[in-house]
Amino acid sequence: MFKLFGWALLCLRSLARDRSDLVLENMALRHQVLLLQRQCRTPKSKPADRLLWSILSRHWPGWKNALLLFRPETVIGWQKRVFRFYWRWRSRPKGGRPRIDPQVAKLIPRMWEANPTWGAPRIRDELAKLGLPVATATVRQYRPKVCRPSGQTWKTFLENHLKEVIAIDFFVVPTVTFRLLYGFIVLAHDRRRVLHFAVTESPSAHWAGQQLVNAFPFQTPPKYLLRDRDSIYGAVFSQRVRALGMKELKIAPRSPWQNPYVERLIGTVRRECLDQLLILNAAHLHRALSRFFDYYHRVRPHRSLDHDAPVSRPVEAPERGEVIELPVRGGLHHRYARRAA
């Protein structure tokens, strides 16, 4: 605005000058503009410059004759932009629809992401049940812009099928007399429960198949059995699996990470139990594993289970009393509980 005021003062000053001086000054200024036009092919204009030429184009018929630095089409475009800006400002909303609660605005995108099969009406109805009435158009307005899957995610698919998968594996335990014992574990994926375990000195395919039968004496086994490609799982074992109505899923050779749950369990058994004991014989190993799995199922929290035990362990409120310490496995581990004084 200060520049426009300065230009107005210069115009008033020029009215009092001699005409010949104005002509010579105009010629000198035009020559300088031509020199500038030769050096800079696309001169940059500021908003005040555009506003000035927009006003001149509307109120001065001879504005095109004085135009050297820009093209007439450029000035016309500026004038249209000013026109649109003016009427946008005149037509700005005054009041309008009230804004929704910010908490609801954050909740709607989360509902879109967490429920890929839902539509806007379904989300609207769910919000209405929560005492948050919003319009369907508002739900669509807060739909996330990122691409989301049209169906369930892989994580949801796998979690829904965990109950249909069990895993098995062998592990070796040396005794104090340097003999080797073999442990066999059947693990359920859904709650990381040990369905069955056994110990032997001479494993075979027939023995492994019988242990799998013993794991489901009164219930229907799940659909899939995940195992490695150990040679101990022979034809007899595969026949037992098919007789139980299960399908074998074999991991790739030398790829134990493809059977992670049972491998992690065996590592836990070694670190928290077997590495702390001297195993005497098969009976001793069986007793040690039995006591540890009782602690594992009922006490030990699991991060993959939201810090709960495989057999759900209730949260004890402070009102139940003071915390006491209960030794497990002769003091190798401890269980903490609350007991009234």
330 domain-assigned: no
Q: Are residues 310 and 216 in the same domain?
A: yes
Within the chain, strands assigned E span 165-174, 180-188, 193-200, 224-227, 247-250, 322-328, 333-339
> What DSSP string describes 103-140?
HHHHHHHHHHHH-TT--HHHHHHHHHHTT----HHHHH
Q: Are residues 246 and 298 in the same domain?
A: yes
52 domain-assigned: yes
Q: Are residues 255 and 171 in the same domain?
A: yes
Q: Are residues 71 and 17 in the same domain?
A: no
Where residue 168 sits, what CATH number does that domain have?
3.30.420.10
C-alpha 87/C-alpha 64 separation (Å) is 26
337 domain-assigned: no
Which SS3 state, helix, strand or coil, does residue 158 take? helix
Number of domains in the chain: 4
Q: Are residues 266 and 309 in the same domain?
A: yes
333 domain-assigned: no
Q: Are residues 137 and 265 in the same domain?
A: no
Q: Are residues 118 and 3 in the same domain?
A: no
Describe the strand order of the beta sheet including 193-200 as a list of residue ranges.
193-200, 180-188, 165-174, 224-227, 247-250
215 domain-assigned: yes
C-alpha 262/C-alpha 166 separation (Å) is 9
C-alpha 331/C-alpha 295 separation (Å) is 12
95 domain-assigned: no
Q: Are residues 182 and 217 in the same domain?
A: yes
> Which pLDDT does position 25 carry in this prediction?
66
Q: Which domain holds residue 272?
A: 160-314
User: What tens-digit pLDDT sequence spans the chain (341 residues)?
Assistant: 566 666 666 666 666 666 666 666 676 666 556 666 666 666 677 777 777 777 777 777 766 666 666 677 777 777 788 778 878 887 776 666 677 888 888 899 888 888 877 888 888 888 888 888 888 888 888 888 765 556 666 667 667 778 899 999 999 999 999 999 999 999 999 899 999 999 999 999 999 999 999 999 888 899 999 999 999 998 999 999 999 999 999 999 989 998 999 999 999 999 999 999 999 999 999 999 999 999 999 988 888 888 889 998 888 888 888 888 888 877 778 878 888 76
Q: Are residues 212 and 300 in the same domain?
A: yes
Q: Are residues 207 and 278 in the same domain?
A: yes
Q: Are residues 147 and 75 in the same domain?
A: no
> Which pLDDT does position 4 carry in this prediction?
63
> Which pLDDT does position 14 carry in this prediction?
63
CB 220 within 8 A of CB 232: no
Q: Are residues 174 and 310 in the same domain?
A: yes
49 domain-assigned: yes
220 domain-assigned: yes
Greatest pairwise CA separation for the chain in angstroms: 123
> Which pLDDT does position 15 carry in this prediction?
64
pTM: 0.58
